Structure 1
Amino acid sequence: MNINSKIKEALLKKSQGDISGAESIFLEILDFSPLQYEVLINLGLIYVHKKMYEASIYYFKQASEADKNNIDPYINLGNVYTLKKNYTNAIQFFELAHKIDQTNLNVINNLSFLYNEIDKLIESKKIITIGLKIDPTNYFLLNLLGLIFVKKEKISEAIDYYIQSIKSNPNYWDAYSNLLFILEKTNKLDLFKKYIDDAKKIFTDQPPINLFEASYLMRKKNYLKSKKILLENQFIDKLINQEDNLIKYHDLLAKNLDFLDESNSAFDHFNLRNNIKSNQLHNKIYDKNIILDLIQNYKKYFIKINLDKFTKPVIPEKYQTPIFLVGFPRSGTTLLDSILRSHSKILVLEEKLIISSIRDRFFEKNNNKINSLELLSDDDILSLQSEYFDMLHEIMNEDIHNKIIIDKLPLNLIEVAFIKRVFPQSKFILMLRHPCDTVLSCFMSDFKINEGMASFYNLKDATILYNEVFSLWDQYLEVYDLAYHIVKYEEVVLNFDNTIKKTINFLNVEWEEDVKNFNATALARKKINTPSYNQVVQPLYEKSINRWKKYDEIKKIYSSLEHWIKKYNYN
């Protein structure tokens, strides 16, 4: 067999689109001579094209044996494992390629991207630094640095790197998209508008630009014009097979319709958005029943007969006790957070999973037995407190001496009993809002999905979770002597000074006039990590009070919430 002429014949068929013909000839060559590098590489590429990834992996590995100093098999193996979303294996092969050639920017780009995907930010930055020394204008790496700094909540640095990426390559859409996203999320609306206008000059057929522009107009309260952009020229047809953009489309349109009091149409679009989200593969992994089962387990266990078995440790005041701001999502906790953090003596920890992380580790060490809480010693509790404050210092990176720490995470309401075990002197601020407005707002909000938020795709499931959470809270009130203070969202809006003064008194600090300037505090914040990010930067307004009355669908669940409406004097 003339191997070279056979290879040329196979490559010709491949270039002419006859993939099966090329495959047959390559396999014929391997029967005659098994370690032909060019044949092995091409077979690997053919099987990638046919999405036969295991076969492609086999031939690329054979190619790496045929030529141990060639980086191409390792790059191809890295690419295949990336397609399979097996990022750990992909990194392994790109690292092998990097050892052979430490200046190959394709390898560097892939490695830094993959490390970022698995949240190994230090490793990603290390590779990026190598790449930027080779090419300081590498727009891909500059954009990636922006993504890393967003994860680290260093927003100014992120914005700078996105802008550098755009300057290096004005035609790189990803940098524009990431920049526009973070500018809107951090309420930098003037810059947001500037880069929308810049992007429109370059990208004439990029549908997300229209979404960003509609978002800007909505933020500027030009609801009619925002709605028009979304509805004109059959814009939605351009978003077919773009799930995330369709979600944003329905979200924006629904919010505009809500502001325009077209409530039933708004409800329909919120529903369409939620249906798309609920069918996304990365959201399907979250089961709403996990949190409901947890609540049932807590209800069964945290009863007086079991609490009487608890040791009564005497805890030295080594650590200050945080105050926990709890409630149901969308009840106004982010508003109260912004108000309280405007006080010079108060630090607010915003929606960090410290308590649940400590809880999970504690039960893992104790064979997931809930009764392991019963026999904790003084040292055990101090160790849990130490773990809490170690995580707190890592997150806040601020001097907490002589400060009141408020840990704000609404659904820590479920964890009151565990919190009381770790911090026996803990206090709670319970944020309330009309139950119908709360449930409706949860349905309307574009949450990042987890086990808790998986109940908010529809009003029925949101109502079930609301009832379960507050019935657990009632049980806690029966079995514990809780130090708590209730703040109603409606009273903050309608009677600000009196309501906040009572809250400040509960916290044992002096009144400061700065708390009235909470919206300026919110604007100065780097990033607000809740769906309320664009509301707390505005002056207080009454539109969100009794919004539920405009929605016909809420009538279907009113009776299920009536107990709480009466209990908390909303009737």
Structure 2
Amino acid sequence: MTNTLSTIVEAIQAGQVLQAEQQCRMALAEVPDDENLLVLLATCLQQQQRLPEAMAILADLARLHPLNSVHWLNYGVVLASVGDLGEAEKAYLKAIHLDPRNPISRVRQGLLLLERRDYLAARNALLDAVALDKSSVWARIQAARACCACQDLGGADEMLKPWRSWLPLNNDALQLDLAQVLVLKGDVPEATELLEDFAVRQPGHLEAKVLLATAYERSNRLADAQTLAESVVNTADVTDVQRNEVDHLLATLMLRRKDPKGARDILERCGPQGDDDYAHFFALGTVCDKTGDAEAAMQAFKVAHRLEAVERHFDSPEFFTPDAPALHVAAPRVSAEQYHRWPQLIAPDTKDSPIFVVGFPRSGTTLLEQMLDAHPGLQSMDENPFFNTLSDVLRRHDPRILEDLSVLRQYDCDELRKLYHTMVGERIERRPDTRLVDKNPLNMQWLGMIHRLFPAAKYILAVRHPCDVILSCYMQSFRASSLAAACGSLERLAHAYVETMQNWLAEVEYFKPAVMVSRYEDLVANFPQQVARIASFLELDDASAMLSFDQHARNKAFIGTPSYSQVIEPVNRKGLGRWQNYRRHFEPVLPILEPMLQHWGYATEVAS
């Protein structure tokens, strides 16, 4: 019997499934109740997608051998494959109960919970699986996927930290999974590398080609994206879902070629993938805006935000309750009284401190970052929530620290700065003799913690007409659920903007950091003059490289912000006063914005 089992296993591994099935049935004719033979027969049937037949065999095995966790696990896998998630979960839980040390059952349970969009429970199950087997690449990749679904990008980073040491994976399905998760967490260049390697071995794999084409577009490799997308569309066995994904990509590429009408035609023809496809309506709203159809654009964005709110409820319901703040703030608040109690500590001087580029999202921070990064003496990076992470470190140590940062002593601040620079080094390879540019718009909420660690740092605050800022935010689908919730309506966005800006202004009043206000309208009106002004503020010598920032940006492998397609173009005036096309929708929110319109000196009358 041992030789028979070995022969069948070898046949299955060689892809000779029909032959293996025949051998199983011949052997079962002599020993009809043999467990191992029945498991192998079920495996053969599964690989042939004859799932009801496989399920019947596995159900019998679980019934006849109820203490065997493997039978319950195998039964659950087939139940999940046919869409019976409720019974599949029961089978997985039975397997876990019988063998709590088996990580595979927990991975399967986590994947099922992901499919049901119970993201937090999926994350917990998959992290438990990794704890049982830290070397399991499969478990770590799926745990990272669940972390991304829960907005826990730090957790995803931790799960995937050793991924390069796993190569070569020698498992195409696993490599594709890894590439998908890297895209989810924003590591598009790394995902592209894996997908290009995958394409060499599997040139006809359509799912991988679609993902690679999308990665090319995000990396501004437009010709490569177009060629690959067209090759998928012209493939005979392309599925409806894949065709729809490619149509959306082709619409994006057409929009980037300045043909919004053609892009709109594609999107209206292909439609959304399903009832929950909010990304389709964001794309449709964008092309309607570009064609000058403001009412159609607003209708599309309204649908997009309604659908997105339903999806985001699964990972962050607390941001969508009726009493939720306009914009959730995780940063500790520092009062003037607390600040005056801070002890004087040794800290880096200005040249050894990062340059912080802040501002409400869509105010022009990415443009400023790309300008600064073009200077040979400066080095920037994509947005990272470093101060959220530092705050989490303090919270785990003692949450009371965040209530009063005056308790931080020299050693504490030194260690926090050290951790900050360690995290920076994990994101970019630091060049010697350069000053770091940390661009994260909502770091303006973290002024207190930043000032505690880098009191001599300089800040550039990006300011743009509040109505243009709010309109641009409303047209985006932000990855962070807190920001996505704030963008649910123009009214909520207006409150979020005013509250964020008022808090910044109040803290600036007593921290008195070195801040330069960069007004977007002035930047585009006289770019050379404003570049010179920024260079003077930062004490830079030759600022000429900043004038050709768009060429520098085009040479980058990846720009990880929503404006990645805009900052590779020279400065232009296209975004100025766009809100006037939507004035009817803005009339109710102008009174909310009035304090900031007055403070920054912006008019609301119709431009002549």
Task: Give the alignment's TM-score, normalised by structure 1.
Answer: 0.81
AA in 1 matched with 2:532: K
Superposed, 1:55-204 pairs within 5 Å as 55-57=90-92, 60=95, 78-85=107-114, 86=122, 110=138, 113-114=141-142, 117=145, 119=156, 120-121=159-160, 124-129=163-168, 131-132=169-170, 139-144=172-177, 146-147=179-180, 158-202=191-235, 203=238
Partners of 1:331 and 1:144 in 2: CA distance: 35
Matched, 1:389 2:389: no
Mean alpha-carbon deviation: is it higher for 188-197 or for 453-462? Answer: 453-462
Equivalent residues of 2:141, 2:181 under 8 A apart = no
Instruction: Give the distance between the partners of 1:56 and 1:488, measured in 2 at CA.
Output: 60
Q: Is contact 1:278-1:284 (8 Å) kept?
A: no
Q: Call closer, same or farther: CA 1:47–1:373 in 2, change over 3 Å.
A: same
Match of 1:102 in 2: none
Which residue does 2:14 correspond to in 1? none
String of CA shifts for 1:151-185, please: whole Å, max 9, x gaps: 89775564343233234334423211221221111
Q: What SS does the corresponding residue of 1:484 show, helix, strand or coil?
A: strand
Against the structure 1 CA distance between its residues 469 and 199, is the aligned structure 2 distance closer, same or farther, given a 3 Å change threshold? same
Residue identity opposite 2:260 in structure 1: Y
Which residue number in structure 1 is paired with residue 393 of structure 2?
361
For residue 520 of structure 2, what is the aligned residue in structure 1? 489
- Could you tell me which residue of structure 2 aligns to residue 135 of structure 1? none
What letter is aligned with 2:267?
A: L
CA distance 1:362–1:271, change in 2 (3 Å): same
Displacement of 1:308 in angstroms is 2.2
Q: Aligned in 2, Cα 1:526/1:19: closer, same or farther, shift over 3 Å?
A: closer
> Which residue identity is paired with 2:578?
R
Shift of 1:447: 1.1
In 2: Cα distance, 1:344 partner to 1:97 partner: 45
Equivalent pair of 1:112/1:124 in contact (CA under 8 Å) = no
Offset of residue 4 of structure 1: 4.1
Instruction: Show the counterpart of 1:435.
Output: 466
User: Is 1:240 the counterpart of 2:274 in the alignment?
Assistant: yes
Instruction: Give the direction of change, closer, same or farther, for the CA distance of 1:171–1:493 in structure 2 (3 Å limit).
Output: same
The answer to whether residue 92 in structure 2 is matched with residue 53 in structure 1 is: no
- Return the letter of the residue paired with 2:253: Y
Mapped to 2, the partners of 1:45 and 1:487 lie a distance apart of 57
The answer as to whether partners of 2:316 and 2:481 remain within 8 angstroms in 1 is no
How many aligned residue pairs are there?
535
- SS of 2:548's partner is helix
Q: Which residue of 1 aligns with 2:498?
A: 467
* Gap runs ≥5 in structure 2: 1-29, 115-121, 148-155, 604-608
Determine if contact 1:40/1:63 at 8 Å carries over to the other structure.
Answer: no
| C-alpha RMSD over aligned residues | 4.0
Distance 1:97 1:429 in 2: 46
Of the three residues 227, 232, 237, the one matched with 2:264 is: 227
Q: Is the 8 A contact 2:374 2:549 kept in 1?
A: yes
Higher relative contact order (CA 8 A, sep 6+): 1
For 1:291-440, list aligned pairs within 5 A. 292=327, 294=329, 298=333, 301-303=334-336, 305-315=337-347, 320-370=352-402, 372-401=404-433, 403-440=434-471
* Structure 2 counterpart of 1:212, one-letter code: L
TM superposition shift of 1:229: 1.2
Give me the whole-angstrom Cα distance separating, in 2, the residues matched to 1:263 and 1:365: 50
Displacement, 1:420?
A: 1.4
Q: Is the 8 A contact 2:358 2:443 kept in 1?
A: yes
1:560 aligns with 2:597: no
CA distance in 2, matches of 1:467, 1:180: 39
For residues 227 and 51 of structure 2, the distance between their equivalents in structure 1, rounded to whole angstroms, comes to 47
Pairwise CA distance, 1:111 = 5.1
Q: Name the SS of the counterpart of 1:166 in structure 2.
A: helix
SS of the residue corresponding to residue 438 of structure 2 reads strand
Q: 1:555 Cα shift?
A: 1.5
Report the Cα distance in structure 2 between the residues aligned to 1:566 and 1:226, rounded to whole angstroms.
39
The equivalent of 2:27 in structure 1 is: none
Q: Secondary structure at the match of 2:280?
A: helix
Q: Is the 8 A contact 1:325 1:429 kept in 2?
A: yes
Distance 2:196 2:586 in 1: 45
Q: Which amino acid aligns with 2:258?
A: K
Which amino acid letter does the alignment assign opposite residue 57 of structure 1? Answer: Y
Secondary structure of the residue aligned to 2:459 is: strand
State the one-letter code of the partner of 1:338: Q
Structure 1 vs Structure 2: percent identity of aligned residues? 22
Contact 2:349 2:456 in 1 (8 A): no
Question: 1:70 matched to which residue of 2?
Answer: none
Shift in alpha-carbon separation, 1:442–1:78, aligned structure 2, 3 A: closer
Q: 1:45 to 1:3 in 2, by over 3 A?
A: farther
Q: Is the contact made by 1:116 and 1:124 (CA closer than 8 Å) also made in structure 2?
A: no
